[in-house]
Chains A and B, each alone.
Chain A
Amino acid sequence: MKNSSPFLRGRQTAEEILEPRPMAKLRRRVFKNHSFLIGAVILISIILIALLAPLFSPHDPYDQDLARRLMNPFWHDKKTNDLYLLGTDKVGRDYLSRLIYGAQISLLIGFLTILISGTIGTALGVVAGYFGGRVDMVVNFIINTRLAMPVFLVAMAAVVAFGASLHVVIMVLGLFLWDRFAVVMRSITMQARDLDYVKAARAIGCSTPYIIIREIFPNVLSSLTVVATVEMANAILLEAALSFLGFGVQAPTPSWGLMLNEGREYMFFSPWLLALPGTGLFLLVLAINLFGDGLRDVTLERER
């Protein structure tokens, strides 16, 4: 009876007072989340530099000249040259230009790898989670088998088998790094399957693929992006390690891993040959991780 009391109609609940509107909340979260901001800024800068590499790089990254080999970067007092800010490598190529083009290679490998692995992992995970039962058992077995394979060693063996090149490295990493996608998608699909609106879609006779694409997929997009950042960072690090050992991208491609390989013999006298590409790798992976962590925090808070 008393529900129509004038006191009640205009009143906000405690939660409404404490919590502002959802969009404002999300915006505030994004700007309060330092890791997301820092990550996004570094990542976008690196992507821009890579995309506009011809504009930013002062020289052709492949242009060799033994006459100017192993020039020191600007912070060294001797043998400095204004033309080559970060010095030159063992065959006289401009190191700054090679570093800039190296970002292209790393990003290319990162994006293409998650494109392949994301497709494989999502397909397996969604199928397992949606159908459950025997299908799930089989997919689980495939995931466990994949996890049992020592990625780095088998990737090296695959590179030996198919020949070392950019394409092979991307294919091999793409065929390996799908496990997290599959695990995450499987559990999310399982939860989503039991949501009321998915049940409702099934009840009104929607076909299975339609339900998966229309009802489940949008639901899991943010989790998918977070996994994608993790695997992208992973792929970039693995490529660098493969190239460093000589089982990845081949010379003269300016891959950061390969530059570390080439600089290794000069590590005692020109340590910057190692320090610079490693810093590039570190910054790129750091940015991707911060971006991913931040994204998870921001979106998870929103869903809560």
Chain B
Amino acid sequence: MSEKKDVVLEVDNLRIDIPVSAGLLHPVRGISFDVSRGETLCIVGESGCGKSLTSLAIMGLLPKNADRQADRLNFLGKDIRDFDERQMAKLRGVKMGMIFQEPMTSLNPSYTIGNQLEEVYLRHMSSNRLEARERAIFLLDKVGISSAGSRLGQYPHQLSGGLRQRVMIAMALMCGPDLIIADEPTTALDVTIQAQILHLLAELQSDFDMAMVLITHDLGIVARVADKVQVMYAGRTVEEGNCEAVFDKPLHPYTSGLLRCIPVPGKTQPGEKLGTVPGVVPNLVGDLNGCMFRNRCEFATDECKELAETPTVLENGHAYTCRLKPDEMEPSTGGRL
């Protein structure tokens, strides 16, 4: 399906191991996906499922003690698995930009936003301060910040959270990257601002024709912007496919559980109970066997303890990792959106 598309990022069987006092922690255990130009991939999962580490692994920003392995990690057709810090630094900020969850703390408090915007451009583009300034004003305007010129002299603490996140977005776009990774970009913001920022991201993504990886735990966001969805649980992909397919007919009990958690306008009755996914994410230290969701799954049987986690792929590319056949889950749990 990717033959005619311009694939920006290909990840195959990405694994991350971190040594901890109790043994080896496996927060990411074989994640594969690809994103093409103009496409938005949403990685969904609850906190601790490894989605943020996945994004940091692509950027080469994992903590020093973390060990990253992959069968394939191609960016713009180049294998970046063995890139050293210097080579990665030449990609980051230019070819791949990143937006973080915490706009309040992600900007350096000691420098004006102008300074922080311009420095990316000056670092990567052979240009002068004037051009960098022009670019910064252009982008601040683009992300919807009024009187951009005078904003350049302001310090981060003078801006609200929503404005700071807009600055972060502008910063990621300074050099016109091919890939943008947004890690929970709206989680720390007010609900009204969340929608604006999300809308802005989607708009910019098509304007600049970028590939976007959006990481979130909020399925409402996914439904609005995603082309493809990847549901992660305990460091693995449990279900993936294009947005409509997954929302129409979730095939993994975890996905359907997540979908039950969100109210649907017109369908959820007042007073009706929303679903929950009981339990917590399991401990990922040591050797792990079987389906990691079995402790929280209502369909779990003894079989799930030894199950090899191989995905079942349907003809439309919709894939899931569960022993259940596509129609074995209760019909009431799917088809909510």
Q: Do chains A and B touch in the complex (CB under 8 A)?
A: yes
Name the contact of B278 in the complex, choosing from A3, A13, A17, A18 (C-beta under 8 A): A3
Chain B residues within an 8 Å CB radius of A13 = 280, 283
Contact A8 B295 (CB under 8 A): yes
CB of A5 within 8 A of chain B? yes
With most chain A CB atoms within 10 A of its CB, the pick from B279, B281, B282, B285 is: B279
CA of A13 to CA of B21, assembled, Å: 16
Chain A residues within an 8 Å CB radius of B278 = 1-3, 5, 8
Q: What per-residue 1/0 map shows which CB atoms of A1-45 lie under 8 Å from chain B?
A: 111010110010110011000000000000000000000000000
Contact A18 B22 (CB under 8 A): yes
Contact A7 B22 (CB under 8 A): no
CA of A63 to CA of B77, assembled, Å: 89
- Min CB gap B168→A, angstroms: 31
CB of B191 within 8 A of chain A? no
CA of A18 to CA of B21, assembled, Å: 8
- Min CB gap A11→B, angstroms: 7
Quick one: closest B residue to A3, CB to CB? B278
- Min CB gap B30→A, angstroms: 20
Quick one: closest A residue to B298, CB to CB? A2
CB of B130 within 8 A of chain A? no
Contact B279 A17 (CB under 8 A): no
CB of B314 within 8 A of chain A? no
Chain A residues within an 8 Å CB radius of B280 = 13-14
CB of B1 within 8 A of chain A? no
CA of A8 to CA of B295, assembled, Å: 7
CA of A14 to CA of B295, assembled, Å: 14
CA of A18 to CA of B278, assembled, Å: 22
CA of A1 to CA of B298, assembled, Å: 11
CA of A13 to CA of B276, assembled, Å: 18
Chain B residues within an 8 Å CB radius of A11 = 279, 295
Chain B residues within an 8 Å CB radius of A17 = 22, 283, 285
CA of A11 to CA of B276, assembled, Å: 19
Q: What per-residue 1/0 map shows which CB atoms of A32-62 lie under 8 Å from chain B?
A: 0000000000000000000000000000000
Contact B279 A8 (CB under 8 A): yes
Chain B residues within an 8 Å CB radius of A1 = 278
CA of A1 to CA of B283, assembled, Å: 23
Interface residues of B toward A: which range? 10 to 19
Chain B residues within an 8 Å CB radius of A3 = 278
Quick one: closest A residue to B284, CB to CB? A14
Quick one: closest B residue to A11, CB to CB? B295
Chain A residues within an 8 Å CB radius of B276 = 2
CA of A13 to CA of B280, assembled, Å: 8
Quick one: closest A residue to B297, CB to CB? A7
Chain A residues within an 8 Å CB radius of B283 = 13-14, 17-18
Contact A18 B285 (CB under 8 A): yes
Contact A7 B21 (CB under 8 A): no
Quick one: closest A residue to B257, CB to CB? A2
Chain A residues within an 8 Å CB radius of B249 = none
Chain A residues within an 8 Å CB radius of B284 = 14
CA of A18 to CA of B283, assembled, Å: 9
Q: What per-residue 1/0 map shows which CB atoms of A189-219 lie under 8 Å from chain B?
A: 0000000000000000000000000000000
Among B260-304, those with CB < 8 Å from A are 276, 278-285, 294-296, 298, 300
CA of A35 to CA of B70, assembled, Å: 42
- Min CB gap A24→B, angstroms: 14
Quick one: closest A residue to B21, CB to CB? A18
CA of A1 to CA of B257, assembled, Å: 13
Quick one: closest B residue to A5, CB to CB? B278
Quick one: closest B residue to A2, CB to CB? B278
CB within 8 Å for A7 and B295 given contacts A2-B278, A17-B22, A18-B21 = yes
Contact A7 B296 (CB under 8 A): yes
- Min CB gap B280→A, angstroms: 6
- Min CB gap B244→A, angstroms: 29
CA of A64 to CA of B254, assembled, Å: 89
CA of A151 to CA of B10, assembled, Å: 67
Chain A residues within an 8 Å CB radius of B279 = 2, 5, 7-8, 11
CA of A2 to CA of B284, assembled, Å: 22
Q: List 29 A-B contacts (CB under 8 A).
A: A1-B278, A2-B276, A2-B278, A2-B279, A2-B296, A3-B278, A5-B278, A5-B279, A5-B296, A7-B279, A7-B295, A7-B296, A7-B300, A8-B278, A8-B279, A8-B296, A11-B295, A13-B280, A14-B280, A14-B281, A14-B282, A14-B283, A17-B22, A17-B283, A17-B285, A18-B20, A18-B21, A18-B22, A18-B283
**Known A2-B276, A18-B22; further 7 A-B contacts with Cβ < 8 A:** A7-B295, A7-B296, A8-B278, A11-B279, A14-B281, A14-B282, A14-B284
CB within 8 Å of A: which residues of B? Answer: 20-22, 276, 278-285, 294-296, 298, 300
Q: Can you list the 4 inter-chain pairs with the closest CB atoms, starting with the nearest?
A: A2-B278, A14-B283, A7-B295, A18-B22
CB within 8 Å of B: which residues of A? Answer: 1-3, 5, 7-8, 11, 13-14, 17-18
